[in-house]
Amino acid sequence: MTAQIIEGLPVADRLRADVATEVARLRAEHGLQPGLAVVLVGDDPASQAYVKSKGEQSKAAGMHSVTHLLPGDTTQETLEALVRDLAADPAIHGVLVQLPLPKHLDEKPVIELIGPDKDVDGLHVVNAGRLVAGLPALVACTPTGCLILLKATLGDLTGKHAVVVGRSLLVGKPIAQLLLAENCTVTMAHSRTVDLPGICRQADILVAAVGQPRMIRGDWIKPGACVIDVGINRVPFDNPEQAAAGKTKIVGDVNYKEALQVAGSITPVPKGVGPMTVAVLLHNTVLAAKRLAGVS
């Protein structure tokens, strides 16, 4: 058996098309142009490419897009002043500060300054609390993208046993809440879980978000399970010459080659969950704009 490949790009394309249609409607019927501001501190090439993609895709959807690139030695006061201004700007409906920040900066007060209404990354404590309480909230983009892929692949998730490996605020905890809301039985696990392989083997749905390359092996997976690999890890190439030249490639938290022979379906890395994250960011920005403007 070879697993079905869950390609994120086609699903993300459909979501972006829906966003563009809704943006056009909002501009025509309400004079409302959703606006997204992205802030990046530092010069990490991968983050710069990611932020550039967000800007390009938001503009392509007809949205107002602003990108602020700050030097790596930016002070806490300067960053907070910028975020405070963006949070008060009526033309901006979503504010995203690219994480992680340089080590000398504290992300918690920055996220608080964004406020829950413009927190399109779903990290504000109010949005996290509303998610747990089952109330409308802006939910973190990557977990929402995972859920969309799961429902597109499996349909109704009721009664399925989902195991989430990873307990981060950005992925693990919110995806567990989203799966509970879909009537799954959810087990939260992590790198220190006793008998982690045995726990994973119980999963009808296995979400890997632990941040360790190829940690989850093929024999950890229940035959026929749906595997969502959120991991983004850079590792040396298997080819010794390429590795010696310092070349790296991106792999997930799941040993993909092994998992292909066991799972019923699986997301590749890259081109699986990744494309969904930006598409959901655009969706969240439109949602925030409508709520702020009082538009249904």
**Which residues are known catalytic residues?**
54, 98, 121
Instruction: Give the span between the Cα atoms of 200 and 268, in whole angstroms.
Output: 18
Beta strands 205-208 and 233-236: pairing type? unpaired
User: Are 295 and 25 a contacting pair, CB within 8 Å?
Assistant: no
Instruction: Give the span between the Cα atoms of 155 and 73, in whole angstroms.
Output: 47
Instruction: Give the span between the Cα atoms of 193 and 197, in whole angstroms.
Output: 9
**220 secondary structure, DSSP code:** G
Instruction: Give the span between the Cα atoms of 111 and 119, in whole angstroms.
Output: 8
Instruction: Give the span between the Cα atoms of 116 and 56, in whole angstroms.
Output: 25
User: Are 149 and 6 a contacting pair, CB within 8 Å?
Assistant: yes
User: Are 181 and 213 a contacting pair, CB within 8 Å?
Assistant: no
Give me the residue label for tokens 């932020």: 51
Instruction: Give the span between the Cα atoms of 93 and 34, in whole angstroms.
Output: 6
Beta strands 233-236 and 248-251: pairing type? antiparallel
User: Are 189 and 165 a contacting pair, CB within 8 Å?
Assistant: yes
Instruction: Give the span between the Cα atoms of 14 and 203, in whole angstroms.
Output: 29
